[in-house]
Structure 1
Amino acid sequence: MYYNPYAFEVVSAKRSDLKYGIRHTEDLLDLLVTEGVVTQAKRSVVLNSRTREEQNSMVLDIVLARGERACRKFFHPCLMQAEPKLYNQIKAYLGSVNEKIGDPRRQLIGYLLERDKEGLGRKPQEHHTQKTKHLSSRSDSISAIRNEARGAHVPFKKTGRRELKEHLQGDIHDIIAAGGELSVVEEMLNHVDVNAVNSLQESLLHVAAEHGRLSLLGLILRRGARLDLRDQEGRTPLHRAANRGHGEVIRALVKAGACLYTLDAQRQNPIHLTAANEDLDCAQALVMEERSRRVEDQAEPTFLHRAAQEDDQSLAQKLLQAGAAVDVRTRQDKTALFYAVSGNSERTAGVLLEAGAAVDQVVVNEAVNLNNGSMLRLLLAHSRGALSPEAMGSALFSAVKQNRHVVVDILIDGGADVNMYDQQGYTPLLLAAELGHTDTFRVLAAKHAKLDVSLPNMATALHLAVRGGNEPLVQALLAKGLDPNTTGPKTYTPLHLAALHSHPALVEMLLKAEAQANAVAQDGSTPLHLASRHGHADTLNRLLQVKVHTEARDRQGRTALHWAASTQAETPAVDMLLAAGANPDAADKQKKTPLHLAAAAGKTDAVAALFSHKARGGAKDMHGSTPLHYAAARGHDGVVKLLLSAQKKKGVDERNTWRKTPLHAAAEKGHTEAVASLLRAGAKVNTLDTCKDTPLHCAARAGSRDVVRELVSWEPGKGRQGGKANLQAVNNVGKTPLQVAESGDTQEHRDIVAIIKRKMVLIK
């Protein structure tokens, strides 16, 4: 079976070859217009595309959209005349598909052969690609154009439109460079692409700008020449004019909208070239245009900003000589001086400052942030007193925060107030003390900063240094005579803070400086209280080595042992205090002993230690609750078992003020394991509180499903005491545990109802 493709199929199949192979797109479009395949309007749209490949792709889309007949015309005569080499390649491809020709009236190969037989095709002339170098040949071409303009019958058809166009295109660059007549160039532009480039990638505009052909440049611009085309060095026409010093051409190009900041392959914009040539006139042309554009658009950094960023002091000087505004700002409110400072470009900063650049707070802060002392000195020397005390103070505090001690020194010498306060009430010295910046602190102290100042909350530099654990700073402050017993927030002394934050070395240092070991704070706490509260064993050990009062009471009536027993930290603080003679049965204002607090905290080690020092397990607080009540209510089953064992099960049914037993406390809080331990220890399951509630009532009311199950399932058995849970017990409002559960509205309550009913055999 033989198959010969249609023209439509060949365009589709060879699309890539056509897209990248067609090199004379404009000639091809002219032929397609003549054949009625493409309209003039679509031709213009295609030629507006940026690249030749994009233009070719659009041509192929148009041809395919017009159908088979248009595709045939595309190949013959259009492609044949515009691209004879590519046409022959396509024809050879078609011959290789199938040597036997099918229906010549329909398939493409047959169509092409048929057209060839009719003699409609001619062998195109070879492309004239070499530039004509003799003036006589140029004159012949120009004469032909003039004759055509006058209506003469010039044999263009014999020469070929493309050949003539290439010939003229090669000549026109030379004619513009030589300063040819305006009328001649104008006639030639009727037949060439105004944006065509030569072998050096130079457009006509490049050549006119390079050679200063102002009148020709105007003509080329009016014909739609692009200002952004680049030659092989990446330069625009504006680069070329700037490099050759053509001031009027520069003005014409920038007036036409040429970009001022385009960089060439060497990363130079036009102003670099004028500066390198020391061409002040051209530099002024560019600078003045830049200044006029700044009225409308402030997004771009100026030439001067860019010179500062590049640390190009020579360019900066020339720009200033050319009239560049020294303090112009970007949209981000940055000056050229800011960019010089941020880039540590001291030489360029010096040029700008000599030209009168303003030194503001933003610039000074940037030098501070970069820790550039020499730059800061330069700025302050040129500030001429323009910086306010607030601006200098802001810079000083910023330097202190960053521990820039050299910069701090320079700022103070430059006029910053060493003892000024910020909005939070800090002085630079207080801030340095809080942040632990020892070097900065020493500079401030050497500059006569006041040492006895304090924050609004009364914290002194010594308090701040101790809180931060800064030993060198604390030593320095004590050496300068600061009182180690001065009081700060909550009337804490520095020793309180050293104990609170566990700085044993500072505790030692302060005690040697005669800090009072038993100083009492606003809440009655001593340093021993604070160390014990947080379980700081090392600090506690150091305090216990001096004469501290282990029985000192705070405002709650608690001793250090109370706090050690209640802390969640696992430390030997309780053992250390007991070994130092602390009373294990000391009662606070609520009559709670350390054993109460240890049981409530679930600290089995502390409970054991207290029992080993004869603590009373049956001690009652102001509500009659024992340590066992606290352990049961908090669900600390390990402590419950330890208390029961240590007391040999005594107090298992002890009642508090509300006649509740530990079993009541565990049941109403839903602690199943504690309930089980108490029952096994012989707790009475049906004991009544002041409301005549049994533990089962309490569990049912709280919705403690597992506890209810544990209580109703309890069987005393052999050797067990306490009895079985009374399901019919009635409290003081006449309700049984079942009725109490029925009053609840949660799923847990409904489950409890079911559990009790099953136990009462009311349901299966």
Structure 2
Amino acid sequence: MALKTVILFSLVSIIPVTYVSQKETPLANAVFWAARKGNLALLQLLLNSGRVDADCRDYFGTTALMVASYSGHFECVKELIMQGADINYQRETGSTALFFACQQGHNDIVQLLFEFGASTELQTQDGGTALTVASQYGHPKVVDTLLKNGANVNDQLLDGATSLFLAAQEDHVTVVRQLLSSGAKVNNPREDGTGPLWMAAQMGHSEVVKVLLLRGADRDADRKDGSTALFKAAYKGHNDVIQELLKFSPSLGLLKNGSTVLHAAVIGGNHKTVRILLEANADPMLPNKNNELPADLTKSDRILNTLHPKTVSGEIL
């Protein structure tokens, strides 16, 4: 079973509800609270007192600027910057204020951070960047701003997943188109060989599959386990995806994993999928590596009758 690539740090663990600064001072905790709630007046009062630093941090290295950026409070972000907050400071996980603003889709804050020198190159512990997280969460305006400010369209997580992969995985069609138009490599796979097309197919994202194919995705690219996008879509019963893939004449024969897509469809148990593949000339008499025909892998009369309309008890008449 394929695992979805997910940027490592969950929102809850990134921005706790309560804060404990390194010095555990009430004033520092109040700065975090004001940044999270968007209370500009209180934030200004605290910072102007001279008794608390704009870069006060919690135990994980989270700064008030990160909190305000995540929470979408533009004026608080601006105030913290004016008070000298470090734009590119990275918390323990590697995340920055820009990362959080991109994750949440706060494009006005993203633009503001760029005005004051935010970097697109800083990475989280799993290799995540501002562009990978904006792509994963599907924020087209943010993606556009990042690309215009020099973000690398082919950034990769440590497991090899690109921004395009993450957008394809989550069915963000607009972002997929943006990234491809900006030079994203359509066939770049993860370390396990899973490419954007394979992932979109197994998730059932037919529109993303269509876009990727039209932009040159390899219809027969396989993972290290030998399965292709069509094989996975057939197993899952994603018939809309299968129809898109069939327009590009993918392989219906024996794959590197020792089976055919028709075997996958039969195991998946969707008789409509079986019928679609048969209509595309998949061969029901082609055995797998174990010398099993597709019909040998099911007890469903409906599927058996679809495979061989003149069949009784699994035997061809």
Both structures adopt the same fold (TM-score exceeding 0.5): yes
* Aligned counterpart for 1:659 among listed residues 266, 286, 291: 291
The one-character-per-residue Cα deviations of 1:680-739 (angstroms, maximum 9, x if unpaired) are 2x67x7xxxxxxxxxxxxxxxxxxxxxxxxx3xx6xxxxxx714xxxxxxxxxxxxxxxx
1:455 and 1:564 map into 2 onto residues whose CA distance is 32
TM-score when scaled to structure 1?
0.37
Corresponding position of 2:120: 484
1:664 and 1:479 map into 2 onto residues whose CA distance is 64
Corresponding position of 1:247: none
The one-letter amino acid paired with 1:654 is L
Corresponding position of 1:591: 226
Corresponding position of 2:199: 563
CA RMSD after TM alignment: 2.0
2:172 is equivalent to residue 543 of structure 1: no
Compute the displacement of 1:656 (Å). 2.1
2:201 is equivalent to residue 603 of structure 1: no
In the alignment, is the contact (CA less than 8 A) between 1:478 and 1:484 conserved in 2? no
Corresponding position of 1:675: 304
1:576 and 1:408 map into 2 onto residues whose CA distance is 47
Counterparts in 2 of 1:424 and 1:657: CA distance versus 1, 3 Å: same
In the alignment, is the contact (CA less than 8 A) between 1:465 and 1:473 conserved in 2? yes
1:595 and 1:502 map into 2 onto residues whose CA distance is 25
Partner SS for 2:316: coil
1:469 and 1:676 map into 2 onto residues whose CA distance is 51
2:247 and 2:204 map into 1 onto residues whose CA distance is 20
Compute the displacement of 1:459 (Å). 0.8
The one-character-per-residue Cα deviations of 1:630-689 (angstroms, maximum 9, x if unpaired) are 111111221111001111xx421332233332223233xxx5532332242x67x7xxxx
2:98 is equivalent to residue 462 of structure 1: yes
In the alignment, is the contact (CA less than 8 A) between 2:87 and 2:117 conserved in 1? no
Counterparts in 2 of 1:488 and 1:641: CA distance versus 1, 3 Å: same
* Aligned counterpart for 2:80 among listed residues 444, 454, 457: 444
1:721-736 matched pairs, under 5 angstroms:
722-723=316-317
TM-score when scaled to structure 2?
0.87
Compute the displacement of 1:509 (Å). 0.9
1:403 and 1:554 map into 2 onto residues whose CA distance is 39
2:214 is equivalent to residue 579 of structure 1: yes
Q: Which runs of 5+ in 2 are unaligned?
A: 1-22
Partner SS for 2:34: helix
Corresponding position of 1:519: 155
The one-letter amino acid paired with 1:401 is R
2:277 is equivalent to residue 632 of structure 1: no
2:160 and 2:254 map into 1 onto residues whose CA distance is 25
In the alignment, is the contact (CA less than 8 A) between 1:469 and 1:506 conserved in 2? yes
Q: Which runs of 5+ in 1 are unaligned?
A: 1-387, 686-710, 715-720, 724-764
Counterparts in 2 of 1:666 and 1:621: CA distance versus 1, 3 Å: farther
Corresponding position of 1:302: none
In the alignment, is the contact (CA less than 8 A) between 1:389 and 1:417 conserved in 2? no
Counterparts in 2 of 1:489 and 1:436: CA distance versus 1, 3 Å: farther
* Aligned counterpart for 1:496 among listed residues 122, 132, 149: 132
More helix by share: 1
Compute the displacement of 1:408 (Å). 0.4
Corresponding position of 2:3: none
1:673 and 1:473 map into 2 onto residues whose CA distance is 57
In the alignment, is the contact (CA less than 8 A) between 2:70 and 2:101 conserved in 1? yes
The one-letter amino acid paired with 1:636 is N
* Aligned counterpart for 1:404 among listed residues 21, 39, 48: 39
The one-letter amino acid paired with 1:663 is A
The one-character-per-residue Cα deviations of 1:316-345 (angstroms, maximum 9, x if unpaired) are xxxxxxxxxxxxxxxxxxxxxxxxxxxxxx
The one-character-per-residue Cα deviations of 1:75-97 (angstroms, maximum 9, x if unpaired) are xxxxxxxxxxxxxxxxxxxxxxx
The one-letter amino acid paired with 2:216 is G
Compute the displacement of 1:573 (Å). 1.0
The one-letter amino acid paired with 1:722 is I
Counterparts in 2 of 1:393 and 1:582: CA distance versus 1, 3 Å: same
In the alignment, is the contact (CA less than 8 A) between 2:221 and 2:229 conserved in 1? yes
Corresponding position of 1:434: 70
The one-character-per-residue Cα deviations of 1:386-418 (angstroms, maximum 9, x if unpaired) are xx9611112221212211011101011222222
2:31 and 2:150 map into 1 onto residues whose CA distance is 35
Compute the displacement of 1:491 (Å). 0.3
Compute the displacement of 1:434 (Å). 1.6
The one-letter amino acid paired with 2:237 is G
1:601 and 1:405 map into 2 onto residues whose CA distance is 51
The one-letter amino acid paired with 2:260 is T
Corresponding position of 1:533: 169
Partner SS for 2:286: coil
1:615 and 1:517 map into 2 onto residues whose CA distance is 28
1:466 and 1:402 map into 2 onto residues whose CA distance is 19
1:553 and 1:424 map into 2 onto residues whose CA distance is 33
1:589 and 1:597 map into 2 onto residues whose CA distance is 13
Compute the displacement of 1:474 (Å). 0.6
The one-character-per-residue Cα deviations of 1:349-399 (angstroms, maximum 9, x if unpaired) are xxxxxxxxxxxxxxxxxxxxxxxxxxxxxxxxxxxxxxx961111222121
The one-letter amino acid paired with 2:98 is L
Counterparts in 2 of 1:389 and 1:610: CA distance versus 1, 3 Å: closer
Compute the displacement of 1:489 (Å). 4.0
The one-character-per-residue Cα deviations of 1:572-612 (angstroms, maximum 9, x if unpaired) are 11111111111211122122121112212211122122111
1:34-433 matched pairs, under 5 angstroms:
390-414=25-49, 415-433=51-69
Partner SS for 2:165: helix
The one-letter amino acid paired with 1:646 is A
In the alignment, is the contact (CA less than 8 A) between 2:204 and 2:233 conserved in 1? no
In the alignment, is the contact (CA less than 8 A) between 1:451 and 1:461 conserved in 2? yes
1:654 and 1:625 map into 2 onto residues whose CA distance is 9
2:292 and 2:230 map into 1 onto residues whose CA distance is 20
1:472 and 1:562 map into 2 onto residues whose CA distance is 34
In the alignment, is the contact (CA less than 8 A) between 1:593 and 1:619 conserved in 2? no
The one-letter amino acid paired with 1:488 is T
2:169 and 2:24 map into 1 onto residues whose CA distance is 46
The one-character-per-residue Cα deviations of 1:169-196 (angstroms, maximum 9, x if unpaired) are xxxxxxxxxxxxxxxxxxxxxxxxxxxx
1:419 and 1:658 map into 2 onto residues whose CA distance is 64
